[in-house]
Amino acid sequence: MGLPVRRIRLRRGDRRRLERLVNKRTTPQRVAERAKIVLASAQGLSGSAICSEVGVSRPTVTQWLDRYEAKGLEALLQDRERSGRPREITSDDEAEIVRKTLEDKPPNATHWSCRLMAAEVGVHPTTISRIWRAHGLQPHRIDYFKVSTDPRFVEKLRDVVGLYVDPPERAVVFAFDEKSQIQALDRTQPGLPLKKGRAGTMTHDYKRHGTTTLFAALDVATGEVLHECMPRHRHQEFLRFLRKIDRAVPAGLDIHVILDNYATHKHPTVRTWLENHPRVQFHFTPTSASWLNLVERFFSELTTRQLKRLAVTSVSELIDAITRYIDTRNENPRPFVWTASPKSIIAKVRKAKDTLATQH
C-alpha cells in the first residue's frame, strides 16, 4: 500500500531557502535529498510519489518530514549526534600518556613509537596515535639546529643582511661559496621511468667515478651565477675564482663578497691579493651560520633539480651537467629575495639560547 498524501506546511521564507539548497551545486547530496522531500510534500505529492521522484525509501521520507515539522529547516542541515562507542580511557590516562611521551624514554630505544607506548600503558596502538595527533606530538621526528656562538654574531648579521636589503651604490654584491666533493655517481642498474601509478626508480647503490668542487658566486641583485668547477678547493683555486669575479665586474664598481669562515678564505696570500685590489671587500658570515649566505639557497636548488637523480660515468660528464644547468638558469635568472629582518633573527637566536640554558 502506498504512503498517503502528507502535505507539509512550509515556514515563512523556507521555500526559497529549500529551492536554493536543491539548485546549489555545492550542497551536500544528503541535504539536497532532504530538501527535495520537504518541497515535494509541500506541493501535495503522496509519499510513494516522493519515494520515486527523490529515490529514497519510505522510512526516510517519514523521518525527514517529522524532523522538519519538529525543528524546521535547521534539522535538515545536520545529522543528530550519535552516542558512539564508549570511551575506553579516562582523561587522566590520556594525560599520563602525554606526560610519558614528553618526559620518559623507553628502556630499549631513544624515542617512543606507537607500539612501544601501547605496550607500556596497555592500550591499542591506534589509541596512542589518536592521542599524539590530538596533542601535536611526533616522537619519531627530530629537527636539527646549530646556534652560532660567534661573539660578533649581531655585527656580522647586520652587515650581511644590510647588503641584501640595502646594497651600496655603484657596487655588485656576490654571495659566494664552494660546494665541495660533488660525486660523479652512476647507478649499478638502469632505473625505470615514471608512469601512471608508479614512481620512477633508481638503485640505492652506486658506482663512484670521482669528485669535483663547484665554485659559485651568486649576484644578489640579478640572480645570475658565476661558476667554475675545479678538482680541489685550496687557496690557489679560490684566488683563481676571485680573479674571474674581478674580470667579470666592470671597472668603476666595487665588489662585495659574502662568504663563510673557511680557512682558505683567510689565507695570507688571499689577504695580500685583497690589499692589492681594494675594490674587492669581504663580508664574513657568523660561524655556524651558513644559512645566512644566499648562495646556499642556490646550492639547494641545484641539488634538488639536477644532482640528486643524476647518473654519470665520469667527472667530465658531471661537470658538463652542472655547467648546462647553470648556463640555462642564467639565461633567465631570478634573484632570491631576503625577507627576514636582523631583529627577528636575533630574537629567535636569543630564544634558542635561553631554551638551551633552561634545559641544561
User: How far from 307 is each of 125, 184, 234, CA to CA, in Å?
Assistant: 40, 9, 23
pLDDT tens digits, one per residue of 167-191: 999 999 999 999 999 999 999 988 8
> What gap in Å lies between CA 233 and CA 228, rounded to an integer?
11
The pLDDT value given to residue 180: 93
For position 53, what pLDDT does the model report?
87
What pLDDT score was predicted for residue 243? 94
**β-sheet bridge partners, residue 282:** 257
Give the model's pLDDT for residue 138: 94
pLDDT of amino acid 82:
63
For 234: left if phi > 0, alpha if psi spans -120 to 50, otherwise beta; the answer is beta
Round to whole Å and give the CA distance between 351 and 344: 11
Structure-model confidence comparison of residues 84 and 40, the more confident one: 40
Cα-trace Rg, the chain: 34
Residue 247: its pLDDT value, please? Answer: 93
Residue 25 belongs to what H/E stretch?
none
At residue 299 the predicted structure's pLDDT band, cuts being 50, 70 and 90, is very high
Q: Is the dihedral of CA 147, 148, 149, 152 positive or negative?
A: negative
Q: What proportion of the chain, given as a percentage, has pLDDT over 90? A: 58
The H or E element containing residue 37 is helix 29-42
pLDDT, tens digit (0-9, with 9 covering 90-100), for 220-263: 999 999 999 999 989 999 999 999 999 999 988 999 999 999 99
In one-letter notation, the amino acid at residue 134 is A
DSSP string, 222-286: T--EEEEEES--SHHHHHHHHHHHHHHSPTT-EEEEEE---GGGG-HHHHHHHHH-TTEEEEEPP
Question: What is the average pLDDT across 315-326?
Answer: 95
* CB of 179 closer than 8 Å to CB of 223: no
This prediction has a pTM of 0.69
Is residue 174 within 8 A of residue 298, CB to CB? The reply is no
Q: Report the pLDDT averaged over residues 135-163.
A: 91
d(CA 233, CA 214) in angstroms, rounded, equals 9
Give counts: helices (H), strands (E), the chain. 14, 5
pLDDT of residue 127: 92
pLDDT, tens digit (0-9, with 9 covering 90-100), for 84-122: 666 678 888 999 999 999 999 998 899 999 999 999 999
